[in-house]
Structures are given as C-alpha cells and as structure tokens.
C-alpha cells in the first residue's frame, strides 16, 4: 500500500547494525562495565607489582596482560551485544557443547598448577578454565529449555535443565570446585524462581534447609570447623581474611594513598580474590562504594529492563546471567568483610584474570544483548488498558 501511494522506499538489504545497536543498548550498564574494567586496571597497577616481582617479571607485567585480555574481553562484549538473541542462543548452545566436552576431558588433559584441583587447561601463554566459559553457555541453554517448557506442547524443559544442572554441579564438585558449582546452582535457582517456581516449593526448600544445615553442622566435623572458624571473631590475624579485613580498616574513608598500601605484600591473592581490600586500603571507602554502586547499577538496571521483556527465553537467560554476575561480586566483597566464609571467587572485571576475563566479557555481552530495547507489544498493552 505504502509503495503504491508513495512509490518504492529506498531498498535496504539489512537493518543498519551500528545505529540500531547504539539506540537499543543499555548504555548505563555498558558504561559501568567499562568503568569497572578501568578501575580494575588502576587497582592492578597497585596490586600486581609484588606478584610480578616474585615471579621475576617487569613490575607492570600483569597490568599489560590485563590490558591485552581486557581489550579482547571488551571486543568480545561489544560483538556479542550486537548479536540478536537468536544468534546468541545458537552460538551459546554450540559453545556450551564444546565446553562440556572440555570439562569432561579435564581429568585427562587438565593441569592443577599445583593447587590440588584440576580446573585448567594450560595453553602455554595462558591458562583456560572451561567452567568460566561454561557458565554463560549453561545459563542460555537452561533458559532455552525452561522457555520451551512454557510453550504450548513444549518439551519438559525444566526437568531437563534440572538434570543438566545437577550433572554439571557434580562434575564441578568432583574437581573440586565448589565455588563454581554453587554459582551454577544459584543461577539455575534464580532462573527457576523467575520462570515461575511454585511458592510452596520455595518455602518448603527454605524450611528444609534448616534441619539439613543443622545435621551437617552436627555430623560433619569439617563443616562444623569451617562454620566455627567463620563465626569465631577472634580470627588468627595472619590469615588472608585477617589481612584483608585489616586492610579495609587501615584504609578508612579516604585510604592511605595511592601505592602506599601494605596488604598487597602480604596477600598472595591480592590481585584476584582480595582486590577489594587493596582498593579499600589505598583509595578508601569512597572507591569501594563506587565499585559497589557500579555493580548494583548493572544488576538492578538489567533486572529493570528484563521486567519488561515478553520473550521468556530472553528474560530467563538475562536473569540467570545477571544473577551469577552480581552474586559473584557480592560474595567476593562479603568475604573481605567477613560476612561470608572464605570462598575463592573473583570480582568480575576488576580482578586480574586471563581467559576468565574474556569469558566474563562474553557473559556481559550476552547481558547487553538480552537487555537491548525491543518492541514489547506496548501498543497492545495500551489497547488493553494496561499502562505502566
């Protein structure tokens, strides 16, 4: 009709990719991620020289590596965020299949770097941790299955996703890598919750956790000792957590000054698990709060945008990815202030990391891709009288 009246429109084979991308992107979230990465670089300059000195590298060796991997991660993020949800899903499913195989082959080809847990593939110049890449892939696959479950005449996707989740958790726990296993479990639970888990079941699980925890505490000496050690406030100050807490205390509101911090010399994991302590010591509470606000912005903005999403797959996948991302940051910071028991979890995008940074970039790129604004049938909502 339009053509008949006004003549043919200038034909366009495809949509303009970049303008469309920029218009529909959640620019606040992306800005927060980039800022976090920059803060991470800045902290890396403070935190990594001791490690470089120990390993016989130039002082900023690790910063350079972080720049290289970080740039790669940002590129991965941008590229991923340009994809359509369908493409993301396709690629993620393929990636998931590959990482599952990689994970299964870890006991054969993996190395443990003398840390007692076989989690890595050594590639010479860098190491690769399949579980880092597995997380976004798993979330997308699980979201796909759960969304399919909601379709009319759909397969029992929830059950399949549950079985898949349990398989991965068991595999990870056998490495052992309880931290990643917990993240997978948590991500799946959040997706299940959002996809409409019965409230009765949730309440039942919460209640049944109490006797289970009680039983574990009373019957497992290992478990009891860890909980006691965590509850005991008179912690041995020469442990990592003791140093980390002390560093936060030392920093106060404005920090002791750039490069003046001491904690990086005592903590072997100052550049990864305890980078927040370095931030708190040298730049003070101000920077810590800034970091926390950036994380909160990413999580809350993404959830806000996902609330409007009509497509169950996009909604669930986005929810799961954001949950894993946010909880990782929360756990890392919670450990440093002794709100949570010690758990080796990095601060996404801020901590130093090689391949994990790229995996994080892909995951965040997926989040950005899923939270892009799309037509959500607002007109029909308005017609039905539901305005928001």
Partner 1 sequence: MIRKPLRPLASILHARDAGENPDQIERANLRERHEEMRNKGRARAEGRLLIMGVLFAGAFVTVGARMGVVSMSEAMEPRTSYAGSRIQAERADIVDRKGRILATNLETHSIYAHPHEMIDPAAAASKLAEIFPDLDAENLERRFRDGRKFYWVKKKISPEQKQAVHDIGEPGLLFGRREMRLYPNGRLAAHILGGASFGEEDVHDAELVGVAGAEKFFDDALRDPANGDKALTLSIDLTVQTAAERVLWGGMKLMNAKGASSVLMDAHTGEIVSMVSLPDFDPNNRPRPPAKGQAADSPLFNRAVQGLYELGSTFKIFTAAQSMELGLANPETKINTAGPLRWGKFKIRDFRNYGAQLTLTKVIVKSSNIGTARMAQVIGAARQQDFLKQLGFFEPTPVELVEASGAQPLLPKNWSELSTMTISYGHGMSASPLHLAAGYAAIANGGTKVVPTILKQDNVVQGPRVMTVASAEASRLMLRKVVSEGTASFGEVPGYAVGGKTGTADKPLENGRGYYEDKVIATFAAMFPAHDPKYVLILSLDEPVETSGDEPRRTAGWTAVPVAAEMITRVAPLLGLRPEVEPAPLAGITLTSN
For partner 1, the binding residues (CB under 8 A) are: 150-152, 190, 193-196, 233-239, 242-243, 245-246, 248-253, 266, 280, 284-285, 288-289, 292, 295-296, 299-300, 303-304, 306-312, 315, 319, 323, 326, 330, 333-334, 337-339, 377, 380
Q: Which is nearer to partner 1, 59 or 252 (CB)?
A: 252
Q: Which is nearer to partner 1, 154 or 259 (CB)?
A: 154
Angle between helices 240-251 and 275-307 (to 10 degrees): 80
User: 123, 192, 127: which is closest to 184 by C-alpha?
Assistant: 192
Rounded least distance, CB 299 to partner 1, Å? 5
Q: Which is nearer to partner 1, 73 or 256 (CB)?
A: 256
Rounded least distance, CB 339 to partner 1, Å? 5
Question: How crowded is the C-beta side of 28, counted as CA atoms within 13 Å?
Answer: 13
- Paired tokens of 205: 């699980």
Q: Which is nearer to partner 1, 8 or 152 (CB)?
A: 152
Burial of residue 353 (CB within 10 Å: 0-12, 13-18, 19+) is buried
Alpha carbons 313 and 131: distance in angstroms, whole number? 22
- Which DSSP helix (H) or strand (E) runs through 122? strand 121-122
User: 111, 25, 38: which is closest to 290 by C-alpha?
Assistant: 38
Q: What is the DSSP letter of 120?
A: B
Rounded least distance, CB 236 to partner 1, Å? 6
- Taking the CA atoms of the chain, what radius of gyration do you get in angstroms? 23
Task: Compute, in degrees rounded to 10, the torsion defined by CA atoms 78, 87, 301, 360.
Answer: -50
Rounded least distance, CB 330 to partner 1, Å? 5
Q: Which is nearer to partner 1, 73 or 299 (CB)?
A: 299
Q: Which is nearer to partner 1, 17 or 253 (CB)?
A: 253
Rounded least distance, CB 47 to partner 1, Å? 18
Q: Which is nearer to partner 1, 181 or 329 (CB)?
A: 329
Rounded least distance, CB 128 to partner 1, Å? 30
Question: How crowded is the C-beta side of 164, counted as CA atoms within 13 Å?
Answer: 25
Q: Which is nearer to partner 1, 180 or 319 (CB)?
A: 319
Rounded least distance, CB 37 to partner 1, Å? 19
Alpha carbons 11 and 72: distance in angstroms, whole number? 35
Q: How far is CA 43 from CA 13, 15, 329, in A?
A: 46, 41, 16
Alpha carbons 342 and 23: distance in angstroms, whole number? 42
Rounded least distance, CB 301 to partner 1, Å? 10
């Amino acid at each position: 009709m339009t053509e008949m009246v006004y003549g043919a429109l200038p034909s366009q084979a495809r949509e303009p990719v970049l303008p469309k991308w920029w218009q529909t992107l959640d620019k606040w979230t992306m800005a927060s991620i980039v800022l976090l990465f920059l803060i991470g670089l800045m902290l890396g300059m403070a935190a990594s020289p001791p490690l470089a000195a120990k390993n016989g590298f130039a002082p900023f060796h690790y910063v350079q590596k972080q720049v290289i991997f970080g740039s790669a991660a940002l590129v991965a993020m941008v590229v991923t965020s340009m994809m359509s949800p369908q493409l993301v899903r396709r690629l993620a499913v393929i990636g998931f299949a590959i990482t599952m195989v990689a994970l299964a082959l870890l006991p054969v080809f993996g190395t443990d770097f003398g840390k007692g847990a076989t989690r890595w593939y050594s590639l010479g110049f860098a190491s690769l941790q399949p579980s880092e890449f597995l997380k976004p892939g798993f979330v997308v696959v699980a979201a796909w299955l759960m969304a399919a479950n909601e379709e009319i005449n759909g397969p029992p996707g929830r059950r399949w996703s549950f079985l898949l989740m349990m398989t991965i958790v068991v595999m990870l726990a056998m490495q052992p890598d309880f931290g990643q296993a917990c993240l997978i479990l948590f991500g799946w639970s959040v997706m299940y919750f959002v996809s409409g888990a019965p409230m009765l079941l949730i309440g039942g699980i919460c209640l049944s956790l109490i006797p289970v925890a009680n039983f574990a505490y009373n019957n497992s000496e290992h478990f009891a000792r860890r909980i006691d050690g965590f509850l005991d406030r008179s912690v041995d100050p020469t442990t990592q957590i003791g140093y980390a807490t002390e560093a936060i205390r030392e920093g106060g509101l404005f920090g002791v000054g750039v490069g003046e911090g001491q904690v990086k010399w005592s903590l072997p994991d100052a550049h990864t698990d305890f980078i927040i302590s370095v931030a708190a010591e040298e730049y003070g509470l101000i920077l810590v709060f800034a970091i926390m606000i950036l994380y909160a912005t990413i999580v809350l903005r993404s959830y806000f945008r996902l609330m409007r999403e009509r497509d169950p797959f996009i909604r669930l996948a986005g929810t799961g990815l954001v949950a894993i991302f946010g909880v990782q940051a929360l756990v890392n910071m919670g450990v440093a202030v002794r709100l949570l028991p010690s758990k080796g979890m990095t601060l996404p995008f801020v901590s130093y990391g090689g391949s994990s940074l790229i995996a994080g970039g892909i995951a965040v790129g997926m989040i950005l891709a899923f939270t892009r604004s799309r037509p959500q049938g607002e007109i029909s909502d308005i017609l039905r009288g539901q305005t928001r």
